[in-house]
Amino acid sequence: MDARQLKEAAAAAALTYLQPDTVIGVGTGSTANCFIDLVAAQKERYRGAVASSAASAERLARHGVRVLELNEVMDAGWDIPVYVDGADEIDPGLNLVKGGGGALTREKIVAAASRRFVCIADASKLVDRLGRFPLPLEVIPMARALVEHAARSLGGTPQVRPNFVTDNGNIVIDVAGLSITDPVMLEMRFNSVPGVVTNGLFAQRGADVALIATPDGIRTLTGRP
């Protein structure tokens, strides 16, 4: 199986977590795109989708899936039972690094608004310890130097992502070389740096289920209540 087939297999496995007539939380990236394409084939089953990026919203809309704003869903008192998204790294405790596609802030918002986070990935994303993938930070542009300084003092090597602006009009700084022994603590440390909108650690609210596609089938990891 090639990488694309593994992503499709993980995305297909996530369909079994969806319930009819509900709103789906939809992530961003190539694996999430596979999921969107599968949801589109049965779009009448669902009330609609809340997207975690402009790119995903556009793909959903192109497929004729009803795209809903998070605020309208929550104001209507509707539930989002499941959020489905990929990840850049997944550890055995279902802590994640996300944001390779730069959509980390909206991803964290939609994940937080959803009851269950189902993470879909191929086996290359599974690691013993997070940190090989540089940690993305969404940063307000005028705080760039301050945040770089803070990243260095936390042991990392920051680099502004070239030619990239988030859906929220901010920059992304990727921080390489971090030793992530305590993902929850590091997530909180980066959250406390003024100018950091979001960091790509999903540990305080990690995944509830990870569906990992391997050539031998889907490995299901759980671990959170």
Number of H helices, E strands in the chain: 7, 13
CB proximity list for 51: less than 8 A, separation 6 or greater: 26, 28, 57, 60, 67, 106, 110
Catalytic residue among 89, 107, 138, 148: 107
Left, alpha or beta for 99 (phi > 0: left; psi -120 to 50: alpha)? left
Q: Which string of x and - marks every residue 93-132 that binds ligand 5RP (by CB under 6 A)?
A: -----xxxxxxx--x-------------------------
The answer to whether the beta carbons of residues 139 and 171 sit under 8 Å apart is yes
Nearest Cα to Cα of residue 173 among 155, 188, 195: 195
Contact positions with ligand 5RP (CB under 6 A) in 21-50: 27-31
Give least dist CB 13 to ligand 5RP, A. 14
Residue nearer to ligand 5RP on the CB measure, 4 or 62: 4
Nearest Cα to Cα of residue 198 among 52, 89, 74, 39: 52
Question: Does 86 sit near ligand 5RP (CB under 6 A)?
Answer: yes
CA angle, residues 163, 28, 57, in degrees to nearest 5: 95
| Active-site residue flag, 44 | no
Q: Which of 14, 25, 88, 178 binds ligand 5RP (CB under 6 A)?
A: 88
Residue nearer to ligand 5RP on the CB measure, 102 or 131: 102
Residue nearer to ligand 5RP on the CB measure, 146 or 218: 218
Question: Does 87 sit near ligand 5RP (CB under 6 A)?
Answer: yes
Length in residues, the chain: 225
Question: Does 206 sit near ligand 5RP (CB under 6 A)?
Answer: no
Catalytic residues: 107
The contact set with ligand 5RP (CB under 6 A) reads 27-31, 85-88, 98-104, 107
